[in-house]
Structure 1
């Protein structure tokens, strides 16, 4: 998935698609939880949600922009094509869900399904039946990883006929319940720092003790390896050209 526009096009035009956003937290969870890793690998499409993953993708030759759950929700709400689609929301708090319903109503968007029960109360088969009866085109799962991504995958694998994407806290931001932060925070790749300063008790251990090692041990080596490979190819080209010049002489 290369950019926001491509994601919207796929969600509008396709059917039976599951999109997986991918950031350092997802990578860390995938390393220690086989079921979570399998859910990522089975996704129809994957987006680079976060600059470290985007850099790793680009180093591997997959040219992509940063495509986040929040940007998707924001673009979805501001795209005229959304008025012809039926949306569903699974997760978020009741207060946030009510705000989101008011927001979609004001924009002339159909939010035809909304479920804010505790995840322990969810029955995937029943949820899928309700979603299909409501003819939901796009389901947004507003639950933090790993649970949001796992339930999104279960719903997708259990016969949901629409498209599904786990958006984490994007609905909270879209409704003003949480702050996205100043533009420069995203521009300089400091969203993680901004969020950690605002919620240190919840995020400090996650970012410093879990995500940072993934950055150091996995993402940076990918970038270094890609640079070495490119330099090796450049040297080989120069040697080949030099040899050819000698033969011609």
Structure 2
């Protein structure tokens, strides 16, 4: 039975990274089609006004907190989240777990060439990782049909979709059964990190929960998006006062 905590009506599974990986590996074995969401405070705030996104998050098979702000907010709930489960780290742990098995991964999204580079570099990190294929995130309706056909033919166990939120979540929700994948995960800009185009925050920043600050000082054009962080905190506090 899932242990769920609600953060501004978005459900999060109260799991450690190790438990989340184990849960995902179980999805690979049960024969169904599952999707995993990794919301951060920005996505939680987006869901407040995007009812379609909220519904998708509420129906996801696994929802993990990709943001220390979400973990902080859970302290005002009956069930407190155990730790941050970053989407990038979850993906890396899954790669490690399925290395040298029959499971394959498909990389879909990013700018032209990024998904292919990410797949190639992940293959170097995890030599036993099986790559099913890949495609960039630029497509029209006709190209989308070809992409879906290619994914289905490649028969990946795990489909990584890097189209940015909430587009990737909506795409997965609409097309998961068509792809034939056992698991689909929206990975945002992770392909750029895997490809080496964008550096992750140093371990110290991640340990202190300041990865958002590192992104801001290294990518100042994100400042408008970052305004959602204080808005998220204030919304959580206001809701707590109303209880």
TM over 0.5: yes
Residue of structure 1 aligned with 2:54, choices 34, 37, 55: 37
In the alignment, the residues of structure 1 paired with residue 139 and residue 16 of structure 2 have an alpha-carbon distance, to the nearest angstrom, of 31
Cα deviations by residue, 1:200-236 (Å, 9 ceiling, x for unpaired) = 12x101112x332122122x345667xxx8xxxxxxx
Residue of structure 1 aligned with 2:115, choices 74, 87, 97: 97
Residue of structure 1 aligned with 2:187, choices 156, 167, 173: 167
Residue of structure 1 aligned with 2:87, choices 45, 69, 85: 69
Deviation at 1:32, TM superposition (A): 1.5
1:3 corresponding residue in structure 2: 16
In the alignment, the residues of structure 1 paired with residue 175 and residue 24 of structure 2 have an alpha-carbon distance, to the nearest angstrom, of 16
Contact 2:158 2:181 in 1 (8 A): no
CA RMSD of aligned residues (A): 2.4
Matched, 1:46 2:63: yes
In the alignment, the residues of structure 1 paired with residue 225 and residue 23 of structure 2 have an alpha-carbon distance, to the nearest angstrom, of 32
Paired residue secondary structure (2:23): helix
Contact 1:88 1:113 in 2 (8 A): yes
Contact 1:152 1:164 in 2 (8 A): yes
Distance 1:175 1:126, change over 3 A: closer
Matches within 5 A, 1:131-142: 131-142=151-162
Paired residue secondary structure (2:113): helix
In the alignment, the residues of structure 2 paired with residue 122 and residue 185 of structure 1 have an alpha-carbon distance, to the nearest angstrom, of 43
Bigger Cα Rg = 1
Residue of structure 2 aligned with 1:207, choices 223, 226, 232: 226
Distance 1:198 1:127, change over 3 A: same
Distance 1:182 1:159, change over 3 A: closer
TM, length-normalised to structure 1? 0.79
Contact 2:137 2:162 in 1 (8 A): no
Paired residue secondary structure (1:64): coil
Structure 2 unaligned residues grouped into runs of 5+: 1-12
Cα deviations by residue, 1:119-142 (Å, 9 ceiling, x for unpaired) = 444766654443333221001111
2:102 corresponding residue in structure 1: 84
TM, length-normalised to structure 2? 0.81
1:242 corresponding residue in structure 2: none
Structure 1 unaligned residues grouped into runs of 5+: 230-249
Residue of structure 2 aligned with 1:153, choices 159, 170, 173: 173
In the alignment, the residues of structure 1 paired with residue 101 and residue 238 of structure 2 have an alpha-carbon distance, to the nearest angstrom, of 44
Paired residue secondary structure (1:212): helix
Deviation at 1:157, TM superposition (A): 5.3
Deviation at 1:104, TM superposition (A): 3.8
Deviates more, 1:54-63 or 1:187-196: 54-63
